[in-house]
Amino acid sequence: MKAYDVSQSEKTWDVSQSEKTWKDECGVFAIWNHPDSAKLTYLGLYAQQHRGQESCGIVTLHQKQHIIHKGLGLVGDVFNDKNLSLLTGSAAIGHVRYSTTGQNLIGNAQPLTSNLLNGPVAVAHNGNIVNQSILREALQREGSIFQGTNDTEILLHLMARNPSNDLLTAFTESAEQLVGAYSFVVMSEDRILAARDPLGFRPLVLGQLVSDLGMSYVIASESCAFDLIGAEYVREIEPGEILEISKSGLKTKKMNIDQSLYSQKQAPCVFEHVYFSRPDSNVFGMSVYESRKKFGEQLAIESGVDADLVIPIPDSGIAAALGFSQKSGIPFEFGIIRNHYVGRTFIQPAQAIRDFGVRVKLNAQANVLKGKKVIVIDDSLVRGTTSQKIILLLKQAGATEVHMRIASPPTIGPCYYGVDTPEKSQLIASHQSIDEIKNFIGADSLSYLSLEGMFKALSRSPKTFCSACFSGEYPTSLKGVVKKEKTEITV
Amino acid sequence: MKAYDVSQSEKTWDVSQSEKTWKDECGVFAIWNHPDSAKLTYLGLYAQQHRGQESCGIVTLHQKQHIIHKGLGLVGDVFNDKNLSLLTGSAAIGHVRYSTTGQNLIGNAQPLTSNLLNGPVAVAHNGNIVNQSILREALQREGSIFQGTNDTEILLHLMARNPSNDLLTAFTESAEQLVGAYSFVVMSEDRILAARDPLGFRPLVLGQLVSDLGMSYVIASESCAFDLIGAEYVREIEPGEILEISKSGLKTKKMNIDQSLYSQKQAPCVFEHVYFSRPDSNVFGMSVYESRKKFGEQLAIESGVDADLVIPIPDSGIAAALGFSQKSGIPFEFGIIRNHYVGRTFIQPAQAIRDFGVRVKLNAQANVLKGKKVIVIDDSLVRGTTSQKIILLLKQAGATEVHMRIASPPTIGPCYYGVDTPEKSQLIASHQSIDEIKNFIGADSLSYLSLEGMFKALSRSPKTFCSACFSGEYPTSLKGVVKKEKTEITV
Amino acid sequence: MKAYDVSQSEKTWDVSQSEKTWKDECGVFAIWNHPDSAKLTYLGLYAQQHRGQESCGIVTLHQKQHIIHKGLGLVGDVFNDKNLSLLTGSAAIGHVRYSTTGQNLIGNAQPLTSNLLNGPVAVAHNGNIVNQSILREALQREGSIFQGTNDTEILLHLMARNPSNDLLTAFTESAEQLVGAYSFVVMSEDRILAARDPLGFRPLVLGQLVSDLGMSYVIASESCAFDLIGAEYVREIEPGEILEISKSGLKTKKMNIDQSLYSQKQAPCVFEHVYFSRPDSNVFGMSVYESRKKFGEQLAIESGVDADLVIPIPDSGIAAALGFSQKSGIPFEFGIIRNHYVGRTFIQPAQAIRDFGVRVKLNAQANVLKGKKVIVIDDSLVRGTTSQKIILLLKQAGATEVHMRIASPPTIGPCYYGVDTPEKSQLIASHQSIDEIKNFIGADSLSYLSLEGMFKALSRSPKTFCSACFSGEYPTSLKGVVKKEKTEITV
Amino acid sequence: MKAYDVSQSEKTWDVSQSEKTWKDECGVFAIWNHPDSAKLTYLGLYAQQHRGQESCGIVTLHQKQHIIHKGLGLVGDVFNDKNLSLLTGSAAIGHVRYSTTGQNLIGNAQPLTSNLLNGPVAVAHNGNIVNQSILREALQREGSIFQGTNDTEILLHLMARNPSNDLLTAFTESAEQLVGAYSFVVMSEDRILAARDPLGFRPLVLGQLVSDLGMSYVIASESCAFDLIGAEYVREIEPGEILEISKSGLKTKKMNIDQSLYSQKQAPCVFEHVYFSRPDSNVFGMSVYESRKKFGEQLAIESGVDADLVIPIPDSGIAAALGFSQKSGIPFEFGIIRNHYVGRTFIQPAQAIRDFGVRVKLNAQANVLKGKKVIVIDDSLVRGTTSQKIILLLKQAGATEVHMRIASPPTIGPCYYGVDTPEKSQLIASHQSIDEIKNFIGADSLSYLSLEGMFKALSRSPKTFCSACFSGEYPTSLKGVVKKEKTEITV
């Protein structure tokens, strides 16, 4: 329903459509027992802004009431001194969102809030529920009304229909009906829950913040949120774990799992290390920066080539390029400079500039490239159209040979666990050989990191991660995965 | 929970708090079969802006989908050429709102929209459901989630749980559970319903618009909406009638009524004629301007007094003052001038100006008033505080005697049918004698129109109207009328 | 250069283009010695909002510095609690503007500010300089740079080039070079000046505000500004008078006039009484409301006609219609209702509604008009196109005869003294007979107030007012009156 | 007068105050003979956004008229499809601004525009006029009115007073009175001028854009602007050269220089290579990226130290760190990660987070740093306060030794040529020894690049650059350099 998107009616050029390979997903944050809960949540969301730039929101808990502010846009645009000062209370949850299901509507912005019989319940969610259509239709048949097109709403309806008066019980019994990927933070009138799905697709970490004001618990998708506010990393929330934080302290609980639905014991998303997470985060107990460097090192081992320079596609290829350079001994250079003032959309001249979408972000340096054989490193390759433009820029700038190296395996399968990948038909590696892709993008050579090499770089065995986008093997039942109908649009 | 209202945190002075006696309620509009449905709805709402200035919204029907735009503020601020052009489709419903229940949140803005199993359903509502707390709690016990604090949502939940696949049946069976005041317009993926509650508290009229483009049906709260778009008035929707408009044309149906809940056969709100409706509207089959003039004439008969001038409190007292003047022969003058550039809030000087709230809207003319005995006419008197300030202004401007005449009876009871009246304790006439009120407001004399006089002016018998605010006799069961708890706040 | 106006690029319908006969001009305000000077100026401007809705501004004097805030739009939109609280200082001047010369650019918003060698000087101006092109070109030849297209800038340049170090001297010598209409308030680093041109075209009044905080002087275009803030009217600034307000109190000075440039001793604008000023203002020592009523009375004497009703075109014709009704004995009624929620622009349906521009503001009441012979009163008639539409509305509503009566003489000449009248060619009375106009507008009869009758109603002799728009006799030299070229446009 | 800055009244934390060492200056752009001149200027400004983020503006030339749009903020926020489409015309000039003199007011936004006797003249300026106070006062004595506090306005006043009717003559004679740094683009009703001051402090380059639509000339501060729009670099505008671009093609002219005012023949700013310019620009005929790498290499030669890692302070230290690493053989790593979603201001928690200003942009990676001896490279060091915080972050992250290396000499003198350096008293190197600075910032060792080393890296002799900030030797007379009084403030 693109036609209804207001921004499409201006002749602008959406940079994120071509340049950015993978859309980010979502990030969550929660804090318990801090008088400045809203401002710390604001900072926790800001540190995780890379996980979602479409909308954001904060809900605080003040004298058993929820105070809410949500909006479309970046954290720094949606929140200001005035609305943060109105978000009083000593506990809060927050969310940054890139829509994986549901459109970018303010009605889909999270945390979702509701008034259940026992009081207010707010939910922030990172992930994607695989069996959502089955659950949604069943709930609708029983008279549930869905406000948005967001899968997170299903959890609220399940909880609303749960007979238990106890939040932890109602949540647990509801979550156990969900199949898919989720990291949840939930806030009621007197407690916060944090939970990860049974396979632990999405990250979720626990920290603590000690100050003159006492001890506060914090929850975040990525540990970089803790660094900004000066909190200490404690541990991951375990796959299938539900953590309750209240006046009585921490309480942990394990979900009952129907093992027949799963083909692995755990399945943290390897793509968090390939692209999603910030390099300075600790994800699934490992440094993202280190993983990426090792992907580059392994790539150098697997597919070294004679060249003068190793250059990254900034910023996503930087760490891998550094690893490749160090392992291969070929000098690392910034042959492409990125403009960081770039906004989301650009107005094009009437007579289109060639490769405008790439140029507006990236500029190839003739001084560095002229007469050189270069190895270009990127984290992944999806459609190939952007790589094609970049390689053209490099050759125009004087590079004599361009060897493309991708620091992850060919992407052949769409993600159903919260990553907004294109349709399978648009994943170039799903229907073209590496040689065909090489020709399409105009590289002198092209190599991907092997699946085995990726796990070797991580020092892990394959069944300990979800690598469905590379392997095509999905670790859960996929029953109920369908496209939703859209029956209303907000302009 | 005023503390959370952002506008309260600035030191502004809300004009509407003191000057305006009665808050307006809501207005609805619908159009079927017109290619420019959104713009005509926009105009239909604009013409009814006096019925609600807090928020507004339009939903159009385009190829079985609903397209929605809602916002806080006036029609002219919320809608613009761009968003109206995106609201395509040949049918639409719209709403202007003054919150009678629920806070002024975007989440409460109407039309309310939902995706039921059979498709999208949008509802716009004018009125108030008396038994809402009973119905809401029952629905919550069965697992319904309420997004807002708005009573209109109850209808959607009842319809969602109704087993019928037929919209008219599901609506009828749901509406029959409601006790109270309502005029509804409802739109599904292929039809529009228009309905009034069994006693017909709120107005709702049917019109038709004939143009080169064919014939369109229109529905509005007040006939003035038809005048602006050049549509022709056809008739009122009857109390208890449900009108279905679809490709098959018009279809009408009568609700089944539990007569034990009602003490009258019909109860259109007399206050629509006293204050709410626009003078140029035809409401319940009568001209509002004529009613008001007759209230003034009857008031002159009942409580004439020797004076030099009759002056209205503009704009609400103008028609009655004109009637009073014509009947009494005492000259009509504009002794008070109203500033029509007034906004909703004003910033006060640090050292408050005396009677600032009244002065900012009204200015007494010494040239007209000096040395004169004046009769001042207003439509109604609620707390008395504004009248007190106005009388002071008149005396400061040189009036030697001020005789206050109110063109309706003393207001002694709060309204439970959609009018946002203050608590009974704040209705001065509920606990003070007319003489005490006269002293409080500082008038030389004070008279109200008698209840009998009001009906005489209307040429109607008492049981044909709801006059509960004047008589204290409520025509429906009041079971379930309670204050709602507020459990979340949006900033 | 309409093509450059952004608002023109949307398909909106500018209500003010058709309905409003005369565009307003400007209003000024000043206050000396009050700790809350900005907020009182804000209120003084708000009370005079009818004099200009395009832009507004306030400059305060704080420790010899000027603090400035200006913006496009209404006073209530441009100013808020935050910017008013930053406008500290105990003296201030302010301005509301309707552009009579220069486009509606923020650069033309007033007060104009500048840094002269002796410090900051700010100027707010109501009127129009007739010899501006002569002065402007001479200044440009000497190297002056004009920022905007505003005639007020000329005064600043003349002052900047004046050798005197004394503000009063520099201002006086500069003002004496100007021919035309002006009421100025000027603020330097330590004083305020208020001045009217030698003939006193535009109003300017002095008041005082006494409070616990001491005594403050206030200056305004109209006395209604004093009523709102509780200040007392003292007197008019005299034609040709310059009043200096400083720590030393009031000082008055008379300009030297080159009498050869003027054909009258004084020439206050009669149109202030016909249309511009608020009815509750005291202008040139007379009540505006009373003047208008007397215009209506005189009109009844001059051109009475047999009819059932006298109805005003609201709001401009109300006072005159009341006077006509009282003198003629024919009942006064509101046959046309005005919608006061109207914004500045409206979005039209694709298929234009007939007479949309009039309908959106005015609605004719069939209940009142059906079968009646009506006399319709307006303050003035310019192009005739709006009257034509209104008469059509009245006939459609059932009026059997419509007799148009205009409470001022035929307008035959454009104004060069600050009123934004159309070109002479567009003034229908300049080239058509009254009978032709009657036929054009579709009235059954048409009469204007006679020029003699107008002065009789005012109890004044013709040479004591400027009535150039009615008589074609201009009381000053018109040397230098030309259309300006526009050489830059801001979008 | 900080107190009047609205943004200061919120409790926000301005990131740019602490982290960013040097404020950028300004960037200019011009295009002649292209039907899409405004959009190409918009892109040319966007590519130069790093040179000024406070305000921006574009003026186009359309049928001898200037069309203007300016605003506060980034290029992407100020311009949109709508206003760009209104900026018609085939020539344009544009400007991005960081205020070096004058406050950040919309009145100071450039291009400055004016209507001179011969038509419109617009000016965009990068640099700073040293003798501005002398010129300004002389002009004010002759009656010139200054609208802003911007030195650029002086040029307009000089041109306005120049007797010549020829733009090139008037400009040349005016520019010859200015002492200081300037790169100007000027547009009249029929031509564009581009000029650099006699010593050529600021860069200015000429390019050409060939397309199906013909050949267009383009002018920019930096060549990166050409890369984005696909234009070809032609040459630098020479120091003291004035280039006229008109229908007649290019015409060049040399200024007459009073050599007694200058101690060098040319003085391009070395700081453009140290910090200002984009690494992918060609400035003064040299690649900025290459210069920075060579500064790092030379630094490694001059002050090598035993360490495990070389890490840059991103982004300013990256190229130098790479050079240092390659020369020294010590591995390059990203030990500090920069968050690129950072806005300009941040809301702080009530209880301030330690080193908040640095943390909000930079995060130190414990995984990389723990137990390591690190060399940290930055481009320059001004106050030392940010370096102090960064070193603390590195040590908290586990670095055992931190060796600070600065890729430019100690900054000891303020800049009077367009760089917004702090007062001399705040330049830590102007009053502390390197050892004292080392102790202040908490480094284990500290070294700067030597002045000789800097020139050696550039392969240039000292007198061919301005290095006043490092050497204290100013290449022009400094007569007239004073702080301006501020006499008005806009809120």
Cα angle, residue B197 at apex, residues B196 and B200 outer, rounded to 5°: 75
CA distance D43 to chain A (A): 8
Rounded to 10°, the helix B288-303/B318-328 angle is: 50
Residues of B with CB below 8 A from A142's CB? 143, 161
Query: Phi-psi category of D3—alpha, beta or left, where left has phi over 0 and alpha has psi -120 to 50?
Result: alpha
Is residue D8 pLDDT above 50, yes or no? no
* Distant-in-sequence, close-in-space partners of C296: CB < 8 Å, separation ≥ 6: C319, C320, C321, C322, C323, C324, C325, C327, C377, C407
The answer to whether the CB of A167 falls within 8 A of the CB of A176 is no
The residue written with tokens 């409520």 in the block is B474
Residue C40: which of B356, D2, B272, B159 has the closest Cα?
Answer: B356
C-beta separation of C38 from C60 below 8 A: yes
* Residue that wins the pLDDT comparison between D293 and C488: D293
Residue with tokens 């001028």: D193
- Top residue of C144, C156, C161 to mutate, by most chain D CBs within 10 Å, is C144
Q: In terms of pLDDT, which residue wins out, C278 or A347?
A: C278
Task: Give the separation between CA C186 and CA B121, rounded to whole angstroms.
Answer: 62
Cβ–Cβ < 8 Å for D319, A334: yes
Domains contained in chain B, CATH given: 21-267 (3.60.20.10), 287-465 (3.40.50.2020)
Contact D161 C141 (CB under 8 A): no
Q: E strands of C130-179, at which residues?
A: none
What is d(CA A321, CA A313) in angstroms, rounded to the nearest whole number? Answer: 9
Q: Using CA atoms, how far apart are residues B462 and C140, in angstroms rounded to an integer? A: 79
- What secondary structure letter does DSSP report for B262? B
Q: What is the mean pLDDT of residues D349-363?
A: 81
Kindly list the catalytic residues of A.
26
* CA proximity to A203, closest of A420, A416, A27, A401: A27
Specify the DSSP element, H or E, that contains B395: helix B385-396
Distance CA A455, CA C58 (A): 68
pLDDT at D485 over 60: no
The answer to whether D227 contacts A359, with C-beta atoms less than 8 Å apart, is yes
Mutation to test the C interface, candidates B229, B341, B370, most C Cβ within 10 Å: B341
How distant is the Cα of D156 from the closest Cα of chain C, in angstroms?
8
A125 touches chain B (CB under 8 A): no
Q: What is the DSSP string of A421-433?
A: PPPGGG-GGGTS-
Nearest to B117 among A120, A140, A149 (CB): A140
Q: Report d(CA D144, CA D157) in Å as an integer.
A: 7
Q: What is the pLDDT of residue A181?
A: 95
pLDDT of residue D288: 97
Per-residue tens of pLDDT for chain C, all 491 residues: 222 222 222 233 333 333 333 444 799 999 999 999 999 999 999 999 999 988 899 999 999 999 999 988 889 889 988 889 999 999 999 999 876 555 555 667 899 988 888 889 999 999 999 999 999 999 999 999 887 777 899 999 999 999 999 999 999 999 999 999 999 999 999 999 999 999 999 999 999 999 887 899 999 999 999 999 999 999 999 999 999 999 999 999 999 989 999 999 999 999 999 999 999 999 999 999 999 999 999 999 999 999 999 999 999 999 999 999 999 999 999 999 998 776 656 677 777 677 787 888 899 999 999 999 999 999 999 899 999 999 999 999 999 999 999 999 999 999 999 887 777 888 999 999 999 999 999 999 999 999 999 999 999 998 999 999 999 999 999 998 854 344 456 66
Cβ distance of C489 and D140 shorter than 8 Å: no
Chain A partners (3+ C-beta pairs within 8 A): B, D
> Which residues in chain C have their CB less than 8 angstroms from residue B332's CB?
322, 332
Residue B131 tokens, joined: 């038994």
pLDDT of residue D344: 57
How far apart are alpha carbons B82 and D69 in whole angstroms?
22
Contact A406, A375 (CB under 8 A): no
Residues 6+ apart with CB under 8 A from D392: D355, D442
Tokens 């050269």 correspond to: D241
D175 to chain C, closest Cα gap in Å: 16
Cβ distance of C367 and B290 shorter than 8 Å: yes
Give the model's pLDDT for residue C212.
82
Å from D7 to nearest chain A CA?
A: 11
* Distances, alpha carbon A6 to alpha carbons A16, B84, D98, D169, D308, in Å: 17, 11, 33, 50, 53
Which residue, among B41, B78, B337, would best test binding to C if mutated, counting the most C CBs under 10 Å from its CB?
Answer: B337
C146 touches chain B (CB under 8 A): no
Task: Tell me which of B26, B56, B415, B466 is the catalytic residue.
Answer: B26
By Cβ distance, the residue of A66, A117, A157 closest to B488 is: A66
Per-residue pLDDT, C488: 56
Q: How many whole angstroms separate alpha carbon B180 and alpha carbon B126?
A: 11
Instruction: Enumerate residues 6+ apart whose C-beta is below 8 A from C189.
Output: C61, C64, C65, C66, C118, C119, C120, D487
D contacts of C490 (beta carbons < 8 Å)? 67-70
Q: Which residues of B touch C322 (CB under 8 A)?
A: 332-334
The model's confidence at residue D2, banded by pLDDT at 50, 70 and 90, is very low
Mean pLDDT of D219-223: 97
Of the candidates C341, C369, C351, C394, the residue with the CA atom closest to the CA atom of residue B47: C341
The reply to whether B116 touches chain A by the CB within 8 Å rule is yes
Smallest Cβ–Cβ distance between D47 and the set A49, A339, A343 belongs to A339
Q: What is the pLDDT of residues B195-238, one digit of tens each?
A: 999 999 999 999 999 988 789 999 999 999 999 999 999 999 99
pLDDT of the residue at C352? 67
Q: Which of D424, D331, D444 is nearest to D383 (CA)?
A: D424
**CA atoms within a 13 Å half-sphere pointing along the CA-CB vector of D245:** 24
- State chain A's mean pLDDT as an integer: 89
Token code pair at residue D154: 């002086």
Residues of C assigned a catalytic role: 26
For chain C, say whether B282 makes contact (Cβ under 8 Å): yes
Question: DSSP letters of B82-124?
Answer: HHHHH--SSEEEEEEE--SSS-S-GGG-SSEEEEETTEEEEEE
Contacts of B282 in chain C (CB under 8 A): 367
Of C66, C143, C491, the CB nearest to D69: C491
Kind of pairing between the strands at B282-283 and B249-254 = unpaired
Q: Which of D75, D341, D348 sits opposite A50 (nearest CB)?
A: D341
What span, in angstroms and rounded, lies between the C-alpha atoms of B386 and B390? 6
Comparing alpha-carbon positions, the chain B residue that sits nearest to C230 is B353
**Counting beta carbons within 10 angstroms of the beta carbon of residue C134, is it exposed (0 to 12), middle (13 to 18) or buried (19 or more)?**
middle
How does residue A343 score in pLDDT terms, banded at 50, 70 and 90?
Answer: low
CB of D113 within 8 Å of a chain C CB? The answer is yes
Chains B and D touch (3+ CB pairs under 8 A): no
Contact call for residues D172 and D255 (beta carbons, < 8 A): yes
Separation between Cα atoms, residue D322 and residue D294, nearest integer Å: 9
A322 and D339 in contact by Cβ < 8 A? no
- What pLDDT was estimated at residue A18? 32
Cα–Cα distance for residue pair D325/D331, rounded to 1 Å:
6
CA distance to partner chain C, nearest, from residue D65 (Å): 5
Query: CA–CA separation, A142 vs B287, rounded Å?
Result: 47
At A202-259, the pLDDT tens digits run 999 999 999 887 899 999 999 999 999 999 999 999 999 999 999 999 999 999 989 9
**Can you give the pLDDT at residue C333?**
97
Amino acid identity at A478: L
Active site residue D56: no
| Chain C residues near residue D113 by CB distance under 8 angstroms | 488
C16 contacts: CB under 8 Å, gap ≥ 6:
C23, C344
Tell me if there are at least 3 CB pairs under 8 Å linking chains D and C. yes
Q: Which two tokens stand for residue A354?
A: 């060639």
Interface of D with A in 195-214 (CB under 8 A): 211-213
Query: In chain B, what residues touch C340 (CB-CB under 8 Å)?
Result: 315, 340
Contact D248, D191 (CB under 8 A): no
- How many angstroms separate the CA of residue A112 from the nearest CA in chain B? 10
> Alpha helices of A96-233 — where are they, by DSSP H?
132-141, 152-161, 167-175, 224-229
- Identity of residue A265: K
Q: Which residues of C247-283 are buried (b: 16+ CB within 10 A; e: fewer)?
A: eeeeeeeebeeeeebbebebbbbbbbbbbbbbbbbbb
| Burial (Cβ within 10 Å: 0-12, 13-18, ≥19) of residue D158 | buried
Of the two residues D64 and A115, the one the predictor is more confident about is D64
Give the separation between CA C251 and CA C483, rounded to whole angstroms: 37
Query: What is the percent of chain D with per-residue pLDDT over 70, rounded to a whole number?
Result: 90
Chain A residues with CB under 8 Å of B1 CB are 65
Q: Phi and psi at residue C185, in whole multiples of 5°?
A: -120, 135
B309 interface with C at CB cutoff 8 Å: no
Nearest to B145 among A119, A141, A157 (CB): A157
Interface of A with D in 48-77 (CB under 8 A): 49-50, 53, 74-77
Q: What is the pTM of this model?
A: 0.83
The label of the residue with tokens 């790479």 reads D322
Helix H, strand E, coil C: the string for B267-289 is CCECHHHHHHCCCCCEECCEEHH
Cβ–Cβ below 8 Å for B353 and C322: no
Residues of B in contact with A59 (CB under 8 A): 488
Q: Hey, is the C-beta of B306 within 8 angstroms of any chain C C-beta?
A: no
Strands A191-196 and A205-211 turn out to be unpaired
- Chain A residues with CB under 8 Å of D343 CB are 74, 76-77
The DSSP code sequence of C249-300 is EEEEEE----GGGBSSS---BTHIIIIIS-TTSEETTEEHHHHHHHHHHHHH
Our answer on whether A and B touch (3+ beta-carbon pairs < 8 Å) is: yes
SS3 D162: coil
Query: What pLDDT does B107 receive?
Result: 66
| Residue pLDDT, tens place only, B405-459 | 999 999 999 999 988 777 788 899 999 999 999 999 999 999 999 999 999 999 9
Mean pLDDT, chain D, rounded, equals 89
Distance from CA of C287 to the nearest CA of B (A): 7
Check whether A21 has a pLDDT greater than 60. no
C83 vs chain D: nearest CA distance in angstroms? 6
Condensed to tens digits (0 to 9), the pLDDT of residues C172-198 reads 999 999 999 999 999 999 999 999 999
Q: Which pLDDT tens digits describe chain B residue by residue (491 residues)? A: 222 222 222 233 433 333 333 444 799 999 999 999 999 999 999 999 999 988 899 999 999 999 999 988 889 889 988 889 999 999 999 999 876 554 555 667 899 988 888 889 999 999 999 999 899 999 999 999 887 777 899 999 999 999 999 999 999 999 999 999 999 999 999 999 999 999 999 999 999 999 887 899 999 999 999 999 999 999 999 999 999 999 999 999 999 989 999 999 999 999 999 999 999 999 999 999 999 999 999 999 999 999 999 999 999 999 999 999 999 999 999 999 998 776 656 677 777 677 787 888 899 999 999 999 999 999 999 899 999 999 999 999 999 999 999 999 999 999 999 887 777 888 999 999 999 999 999 999 999 999 999 999 999 999 999 999 999 999 999 998 854 344 456 66
pLDDT of residue D426: 86
